[in-house]
Structure 1
Amino acid sequence: MTQVFYSSTLFGAMTLAAAMDAGRFGPHEGRRILLVSNNAAIPEVTPSLDEAPGFSALRPRFDEVWSWNEIIAPLHPSDWKARVVEVPMLERLVRSHLSLGEGAGELVLESVAVPPARTVAALVRDCPITVYSDGLMSYGPTRDPLPLETSGRITRLLHLDLVPELTPLLLREVGVAPDPLPDEAFRRVLAEMPPPTGLSGEAVILGQYLSALDIVTAEEEAELHADMLRALAARGHRSVLFKPHPAAGGHHARLLREVARELGVELCVAGDTVPAEACFSALRPQLVVGCFSTALVTASRLFGIPVATMGCDLVLERLAPYENSNRVPVTIVDATVPRLSLDGSITEPPEVELRALVEAVGFCMQSEHYPALREVAAGYIETHGAQARYFKNRRLASVGLLPEPVRPSRDRPLARLRRALSR
């Protein structure tokens, strides 16, 4: 049996390796093909995951590695999807390109609701699909409805057990059961990775690509990184490692170096292809700070490193539309991770019923697809009120958890006078 695995990040490939080692895909008897996609804004200048130094440790688990970018060039993986009339032809082409013969025995995908994974699912057909999730998004609802020919093939959801008290909402609406991966399997994979060299830092700043997602402006994101550095300096850290997001480009690091010089802080920048977890393992920093990166949770859960968040309030205010799939990850981090202030102080977040909060937010995001969560959401709102941090009154009203707001009359005074005189 040929198994086709798809991944767009090194962390995702590490998750696949952990699942293989944990026996989730059975013995390695047939062909195992890894389909790699580079989803960076400009993939031509951004290294793909199979070009990362750490990939050499994962490579023996796969018989073949193919680039999805090369298969569909010059189209961008995140934008292109096959038109309905093209699917039969393109299916034959993909099958021929990958030498699949009569087809694959299993297809393993991440982020199945959106291209490129959704596109791959449409072209590698007639086989069961396993979805794997390597981050906090697994705890949120499915981003977009799936076509029946895809959702009907999904048999399970593999995920890292990052927040043990939560059960993923992802794919729950189509009856897919989640299957958590053991922490130890992922730790063993990480131990195989070559340690990064030339890195230093008492603390770590995790970069994201919030401005690229139009959540904040580029200037606001740069200022957020600068505030993180200022807060770490206020805490007495004189050397800091900045771990940029692989898809963010190099401008964040350049701007942060200027702030570091002003503060007298030694700033080291990790390479784009170095996993954050490899940095944690090599440096064992005293503190890891970020906005709502999944790496905040892996630092705490897998390594026992203290973590803190900064900027969640801004992101929660700016996320639009309400269904934005980043909403649950930022909610989880905001509700559970200590908060770092500009003066260097760290405060614990208020206590919260995390499961009820996440399910209430998930219901408000996709109420039509998760009607079973209405009672939980209503109970949470009744107990805790419509917390403006996590809920918007207009959204609560639109899903029936608050009365519709009374809209002010737009009648002009003259029109009201005419009506009165005509009575």
Structure 2
Amino acid sequence: MATDPTPSGTAPATPTPAAPAPSPDAPASGRRGQRVQIFQVSTLYGAATVAAALDSGRFGTRGDARRVLLVSHNAEIPETALRLDAMTGYDRIAARFDTTVEWNEAIHPHHPGSWAPRPEETPLWQRVLRTAWDLGDGPVELIVESIQANPAKALAAVFAESTVQLYADGLMSYGPTRDELPQSIGCRVRRLLHLDLVPGLRPLLLAEYGVEPEIVPDSAFRAVLAEIAGAAEGDPHVAAAVEAAPTAVLLGQYLAVLGILTADEEEDLHARMVRGAAAAGHRSVIFKPHPTAPARYSRALREAAEAVGVRLTVLDGPLLAETFYARCRPRLVVGCFSTAMLTASVYYGVPIARVGTGTVLERLQPYENSNRVPLTLVDHLVPDLESGAGPAVPGAAPDTLESLVRAVGYCMQPKLHPGLRAEAVALLDGLRPDDPLARYVDRDRLTELGLPGGDAGRSLSRPRRLRRRPTGRS
């Protein structure tokens, strides 16, 4: 599960730039007039998506523009988290670019999720970054993730005349835009590149701005994943995994950091994955913590494995989960609502199963939390391991899915998607309280919006104000 960066306001003070600010009359460095493309990434999975888009010609041929890879370390405490450039396979991705620069260094000592320039400072910041990154004086194109939050919003503010393209790092693309974008940014977004993780389902992200989604070819992404897996040849972590002869991979997330579960509840969730895998007949399993999750030893996880006679291998090395899929060829991948579950089924044909989605559905607040659509997708498409249902490869989106996602999307962001109200009403009108789809819509939210299924007896003259709270990317 990858995280949607924490929304933030303007920093109270200007951070020390990475390079001294040039005088107003100083010429820009670099090749005069050369077009520059800045690709902002914070995860290896996202970088792999960008690489696949490059390889499939989505950004022209190499040499058409100078390609800059801008790395942002967005973990809660970046200094203690695993760095992107330490991940196995990163070097192969970075080789596709002409240069690599770091956002954290440029805005030090501020956090990339919480810093944005003051409006009056943006022209100076553009000159500083053009000089520090040797961008020259030519046009700059931005290719970013999660435009509704920093650091992408900060970049769009600094390069105020630049066009913006988005790539979707996981299942978030299927949900609505988290916040209304400033008109100065919304009008500059040209397209949304995304992986076809739920074949047949059209993303809602930025649809209100008329942004067209464009699929990154499956073949290109598979090739990049194979390249990353090839970089793991001889890696001791992979060797340990292969030696353990695992048949199941269990995916950790960081729900406690996001405040969705407590730390103890998250440990119990992982223990439930172990017990579920054991009940399904697996005797050797890998537990793969999320790359940005805080380091902690899980005695509960090991005790659960010992109790059910399962060999547990915890692999917290600098590797994508997809590397284990390629090297270990598991027969099962288990998670809560991690994007890596869908990657396993779509790109490797591995059956998947979920654990704990019901609990998270009950806990997830506020209703417009950006994790809601990824959670809804996994809960609706993927079998529940603890129910006795066998794991499966979900395949194409069922007929019920698009109407469900659009109804949930409207309930999350009614002001951004007023045109979806009629579709939401049509779906909700036909739901009984015991209908499986009813679990995805909150009765209080339906009441607020005056939708079928709400409390008709409650006065709607003064509905509760829509709540805002930081969310995370899965």
Task: Establish whether TM, by shorter chain, passes 0.5.
Answer: yes
**Residue equivalent to 2:44:** 10
Contact in 2 for aligned 1:4/1:104 (Cα 8 Å): no
Q: Deviations over 1:127-186 (max 9, x none)?
A: 211100021110000011111111111100000011122100000001100001111000
State how 1:365-376 maps to structure 2 within 5 Å. Answer: 365-376=412-423
Contact in 1 for aligned 2:352/2:391 (Cα 8 Å): no
**Residue equivalent to 1:399:** 449
CA distance in 1, matches of 2:75, 2:301: 21
For residue 249 of structure 1, report the CA deviation from its aligned partner: 2.1
Q: In structure 1, give the amino acid aligned to 2:184.
A: E
5+ unaligned residues in a row in structure 1: which ranges?
A: 409-423
- SS state at 1:308 partner: strand
Comparing 8-17 with 111-120, greater Cα deviation is found at 111-120
Does residue 98 of the first structure (1) align with residue 143 of the second (2)?
no
- SS state at 2:134 partner: coil
Does residue 190 of the first structure (1) align with residue 235 of the second (2)?
no
Q: In structure 2, give the amino acid aligned to 1:199.
A: A
- Cα gap change, 1:108/1:254 in structure 2, threshold over 3 Å: closer, same or farther? farther
Does residue 199 of the first structure (1) align with residue 241 of the second (2)?
yes
**Residue equivalent to 2:59:** 25
Comparing 19-28 with 101-110, greater Cα deviation is found at 101-110
The percentage of aligned residue pairs carrying the same residue is 50
- SS state at 2:292 partner: coil
For residue 254 of structure 1, report the CA deviation from its aligned partner: 5.2
Contact in 2 for aligned 1:335/1:352 (Cα 8 Å): no
Q: In structure 1, give the amino acid aligned to 2:405.
A: V
Q: Deviations over 1:35-68 (max 9, x none)?
A: 0011111111212212212112212101111111
- SS state at 2:224 partner: helix
**Residue equivalent to 2:149:** 114
CA distance in 1, matches of 2:456, 2:261: 28
Q: In structure 2, give the amino acid aligned to 1:326.
A: N
CA distance in 1, matches of 2:291, 2:297: 11
**Residue equivalent to 2:311:** 266
Contact in 1 for aligned 2:410/2:424 (Cα 8 Å): yes
CA distance in 2, matches of 1:362, 1:181: 23
**Residue equivalent to 1:413:** none
**Residue equivalent to 1:46:** 81
For residue 272 of structure 1, report the CA deviation from its aligned partner: 4.6
Contact in 2 for aligned 1:363/1:373 (Cα 8 Å): yes
CA distance in 1, matches of 2:297, 2:413: 34
CA distance in 1, matches of 2:448, 2:42: 36
**Residue equivalent to 2:400:** 353
- SS state at 2:278 partner: helix
Does residue 82 of the first structure (1) align with residue 117 of the second (2)?
yes
- With normalisation by structure 2, the TM-score equals 0.82
5+ unaligned residues in a row in structure 2: which ranges?
A: 1-34, 233-237, 460-474
Q: In structure 2, give the amino acid aligned to 1:221.
A: E
For residue 252 of structure 1, report the CA deviation from its aligned partner: 5.7
- SS state at 1:155 partner: strand
CA distance in 2, matches of 1:102, 1:254: 56
Contact in 2 for aligned 1:139/1:170 (Cα 8 Å): yes
Contact in 1 for aligned 2:431/2:438 (Cα 8 Å): no
Comparing 83-92 with 29-38, greater Cα deviation is found at 83-92
CA distance in 2, matches of 1:271, 1:63: 31
Contact in 2 for aligned 1:206/1:244 (Cα 8 Å): yes
Q: How many residues align?
A: 406
Contact in 2 for aligned 1:132/1:157 (Cα 8 Å): yes
Contact in 2 for aligned 1:277/1:299 (Cα 8 Å): yes
Contact in 2 for aligned 1:10/1:55 (Cα 8 Å): yes
Higher relative contact order (CA 8 A, sep 6+): 2
- Cα gap change, 1:84/1:272 in structure 2, threshold over 3 Å: closer, same or farther? farther
CA distance in 1, matches of 2:399, 2:356: 19
State how 1:8-407 maps to structure 2 within 5 Å. Answer: 8-29=42-63, 30-193=65-228, 194-195=231-232, 196-200=238-242, 201-251=246-296, 253=298, 255-341=300-386, 346=390, 353-385=400-432, 387-402=437-452, 405-407=456-458
Q: In structure 2, give the amino acid aligned to 1:370.
A: H
CA RMSD, 1 decimal: 1.9
CA distance in 2, matches of 1:252, 1:323: 32
Contact in 2 for aligned 1:211/1:221 (Cα 8 Å): yes
- With normalisation by structure 1, the TM-score equals 0.91
Q: In structure 1, give the amino acid aligned to 2:390.
A: I
Q: In structure 2, give the amino acid aligned to 1:397.
A: T
Q: Deviations over 1:198-226 (max 9, x none)?
A: 21421010111111111111111110000
Contact in 2 for aligned 1:253/1:269 (Cα 8 Å): no
Q: Deviations over 1:16-36 (max 9, x none)?
A: 000000100001113110000
Contact in 2 for aligned 1:95/1:124 (Cα 8 Å): no
- Cα gap change, 1:252/1:177 in structure 2, threshold over 3 Å: closer, same or farther? farther
Comparing 133-142 with 73-82, greater Cα deviation is found at 73-82
Q: Between Structure 1 and Structure 2, whose CA radius of gyration is higher?
A: 1
- Cα gap change, 1:404/1:260 in structure 2, threshold over 3 Å: closer, same or farther? closer
Contact in 1 for aligned 2:332/2:391 (Cα 8 Å): no
For residue 336 of structure 1, report the CA deviation from its aligned partner: 0.5
Q: Deviations over 1:66-123 (max 9, x none)?
A: 1111111111111112222322222222222112222543110001101122112211
CA distance in 2, matches of 1:214, 1:385: 31
Q: In structure 2, give the amino acid aligned to 1:346.
A: G
